[in-house]
């Protein structure tokens, strides 16, 4: 009897091992190979991928080499420096279904992020079609979702299919025209505080030779604005949350390089331990803010959860208890905190760099702002469309 039990146990173990081995071969070898051949039949090729890592190692080496030296001058041709693999591989592998004399910027090719393919496109109409018609269907890949799981979870940015449609519908009321106009007061106040701080530092330095890390100032500015518009009265905790999310973002970006190795996300590595700890701190802060809003409503101190993003999501949770939970709300808050400040701070930094490099345009923009908004230099939301020079800085 004991012999029979051991025999059955061995059969079960062997079956599980074979199943795992089959899934491993199918996911990490057969499926990428099938996709590669399918793309080649359509005339789209790219550099040969390595097993498991794809082209990650090649891209890392090329980028490290291209940014190893400082820029000798300020210029717009930064693609070869930041994306050297794109420039090199578009010339080597790029194809375009049209005349061969077209510029290489229009060429398509495929690269591999681990075992997942990435189709490189620059055709505006095709990109627009993918984002508008197929985004909710194709959505984000497994690697993308796992790479941001500890950072922004399954918020709108990482949702697919029906979940994407549902979460987009929930977030839409926070971005109507009237609400965006209402956020302008926070933008003005935060910018005024930042400008006053910089003037004071320049004055205390004794002249105009004071150097400022403007990129860091823009990150703080956008973080302040997002904190106020997303959390309103919970502004101080919003700033603390931003600090934690910044570190968490960096760690998650570093850990994604190892996701191509099967099971790496389960290992108790330094990255995984730190990510888990920071994620716990972030969600603890968010729960404190959420519970404070709920308590104020329950004891009658407030008649609503607020008119900021968090308040709108909590109101939605009350109206649709079966479709929205606290975890989704926390993921949405983290998502908008990240997407709201990262791209905006980079755009502001780039704009200020261009203005500093072009004194003529700088004076032109300053003169136009004064003409439109008066000597105080603070335009209203309605006056923004009249500031045409700000959209043509180059």
Q: Which pLDDT belongs to residue 188?
A: 87
What is the pLDDT of the chain when averaged over all its residues?
A: 79
* Rounded CA separation 245/88 (Å): 34
How far from chain centre, in Å, is Cα 214? Answer: 21
Residue 101 dihedral angles phi and psi, to the nearest 5° = -85, 0
Sketch out the chain's domains with CATH numbers.
2-68+76-133 (no CATH), 169-357 (1.10.630.10), 359-394 (no CATH)
Q: Which residue has the tokens 């005024």?
A: 192
Q: Are 234 and 286 in contact (CB under 8 A)?
A: no
Q: Are 393 and 355 in contact (CB under 8 A)?
A: yes
Closest listed residue to residue 327, CA positions, set 297, 282, 277:
282
Q: Is the pLDDT of residue 281 over 70?
A: yes
Give per-residue pLDDT as tens, 63-114.
999 888 887 777 777 888 888 998 889 888 876 555 444 444 457 889 998 8
Give the residue-averaged pLDDT of 170-178.
78
How far from chain centre, in Å, is Cα 51? Answer: 28
DSSP annotation of 112 reads E
Give the residue-averaged pLDDT of 351-378.
84
Q: Is pLDDT larger for residue 363 or for residue 266? A: 363
Strand 116-120 and strand 109-113: the pairing is antiparallel
Give the residue-averaged pLDDT of 214-227.
86
Q: Which pLDDT belongs to residue 273?
A: 85
Q: Identify the burial level of 389 via C-beta atoms within 10 angstroms of its C-beta, where 0-12 means exposed, 13-18 middle and 19 or more buried.
A: middle
* Rounded CA separation 175/179 (Å): 6
Give the residue-averaged pLDDT of 256-269.
68
Q: Is the pLDDT of residue 27 over 60?
A: yes
* Rounded CA separation 70/78 (Å): 12
Q: Which residue has the tokens 């497994």?
A: 142
* Rounded CA separation 125/132 (Å): 10
List beta partners, residue 109. 120
Q: Which pLDDT belongs to residue 104?
A: 44
Q: Which pLDDT belongs to residue 47?
A: 92
Q: Which pLDDT belongs to residue 139?
A: 64
Q: Which pLDDT belongs to residue 394?
A: 46
pLDDT above 90: percentage of residues in the chain? 4
Give per-residue pLDDT as tens, 28-75.
888 889 989 998 888 888 999 988 888 988 998 999 998 888 877 777
Residue 325 dihedral angles phi and psi, to the nearest 5° = -130, 175
Least confident of 149-163, 344-358, 362-376: 149-163
Concatenated DSSP letters for 318-357? HH-TTT--HHHHHHHHHHHHHHHHHHHHHHHHHHHHHHHH
């Amino acid at each position: 009897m004991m012999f029979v039990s051991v025999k059955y146990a061995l059969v079960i173990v062997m079956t599980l091992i074979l199943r795992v081995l089959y899934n491993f071969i199918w996911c990490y070898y057969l499926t990428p190979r099938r996709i590669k051949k399918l793309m080649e039949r359509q005339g789209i090729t790219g550099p040969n991928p390595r097993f498991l890592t794809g082209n990650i190692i090649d891209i890392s080496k090329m980028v490290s080499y291209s940014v190893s030296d400082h820029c000798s001058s300020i210029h717009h041709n930064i693609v070869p420096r930041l994306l050297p693999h794109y420039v090199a591989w578009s010339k080597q592998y790029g194809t375009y279904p049209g005349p061969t004399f077209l510029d290489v910027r229009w060429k398509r090719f495929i690269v591999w992020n681990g075992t997942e393919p990435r189709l490189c496109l620059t055709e505006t109409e095709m990109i627009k079609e993918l984002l508008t018609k197929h985004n909710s269907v194709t959505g984000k890949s497994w690697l993308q979702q796992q790479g941001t799981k500890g950072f922004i979870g399954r918020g709108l940015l990482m949702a697919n299919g029906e979940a994407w449609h549902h979460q987009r519908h929930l977030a839409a009321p926070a971005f109507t025209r009237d609400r965006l106009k209402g956020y302008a007061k926070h933008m003005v106040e935060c910018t005024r505080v930042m400008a006053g701080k910089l003037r004071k530092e320049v004055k205390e330095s004794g002249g105009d030779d004071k150097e400022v890390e403007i990129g860091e100032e823009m990150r703080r500015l956008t973080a302040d604005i997002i904190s106020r518009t997303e959390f309103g009265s919970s502004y101080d905790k919003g700033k603390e949350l931003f600090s934690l999310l910044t570190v968490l973002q960096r760690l998650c970006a570093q850990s994604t390089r190892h996701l191509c190795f099967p099971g790496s996300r389960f290992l108790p590595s330094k990255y995984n331990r730190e990510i888990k700890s920071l994620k716990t701190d972030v969600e603890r802060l968010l729960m404190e803010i959420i519970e404070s809003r709920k308590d104020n409503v329950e004891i009658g101190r407030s008649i609503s959860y607020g008119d900021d993003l968090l308040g709108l999501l909590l109101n939605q949770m009350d109206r649709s208890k079966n479709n929205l939970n606290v975890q989704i709300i926390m993921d949405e808050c983290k998502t908008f905190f990240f997407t709201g400040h990262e791209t905006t701070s980079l755009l502001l930094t780039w704009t200020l760099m261009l203005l500093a490099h072009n004194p003529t345009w700088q004076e032109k923009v300053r003169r136009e702002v004064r003409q439109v908004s008066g000597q105080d230099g603070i335009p209203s939301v309605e006056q923004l469309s009249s500031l045409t020079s700000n959209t043509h800085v180059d």
